[in-house]
Chains A and B, each alone.
Chain A
Amino acid sequence: QKEVEQDPGPLSVPEGAIVSLNCTYSNSAFQYFMWYRQYSRKGPELLMYTYSSGNKEDGRFTAQVDKSSKYISLFIRDSQPSDSATYLCAMSAITNAGKSTFGDGTTLTVKP
């Protein structure tokens, strides 16, 4: 079993919808949680970076971390066709913050 599990989708939503993306993890040492967006044939682009539990909002994006359930989420409000991409969650432990463990990504399509 992988340390980080992510539903691969694909997920297809109409423009303007609220999108919910999720990851679960098994390593309780993870304290740093990241969400990346990756377009086809491009490198991952950091969207959100959070430490420990709680919520963080940045524009249309909200990241939530529930350490008690080992569950993290990314919400995208007012989704746009340009949001169509693969979304990757990643996490690392405070004792080895440089080593990130990634999920396999969820592919999202936002239809006009």
Chain B
Amino acid sequence: GAGVSQTPSNKVTEKGKYVELRCDPISGHTALYWYRQSLGQGPEFLIYFQGTGAADDSGLPNDRFFAVRPEGSVSTLKIQRTERGDSAVYLCASSLNSRYEQYFGPGTRLTVT
């Protein structure tokens, strides 16, 4: 079946702009996760959803970052007033529920100029 998909695959934006990153999880997966990966580092947890609600958002770095999952399927990660330090690959994953294996998408490479 189809895996986790993320759009866009690449996003270049100017400092100060607003961006939205989209994640389509595997059908039937109730848990959805966002991570951020900088060059040479492992993925860094941002937030995860169980259904429509954020079960843990402790990894969001500041209030410029926000994520939603209004219908319990597709999720959008929103970043306001982007900074150059936000440049990274943003990874999305999904799982049957939070105690099951996470399956990752290919990521969105965000570059803030």
Contact = CB atoms under 8 A, between A and B. Distances in A.
Q: Do A and B bind each other?
A: yes
Contacts of A42: 106-107
**Chain B, interface size: which category?**
20 to 34
Interface in B87-113: 91, 93, 95, 98-99, 101-107
Contacts of B105: 43
A29 interface: no
Interface residues on A, range: 20 to 34
A49 B44 contact: no
A3 to B, nearest CB: 11
Chief secondary structure at chain A's binding surface: strand
B56 interface: yes
Contacts of B33: 98, 100
B103 to A, nearest CB: 7
Interface in A59-112: 88, 90, 96-105
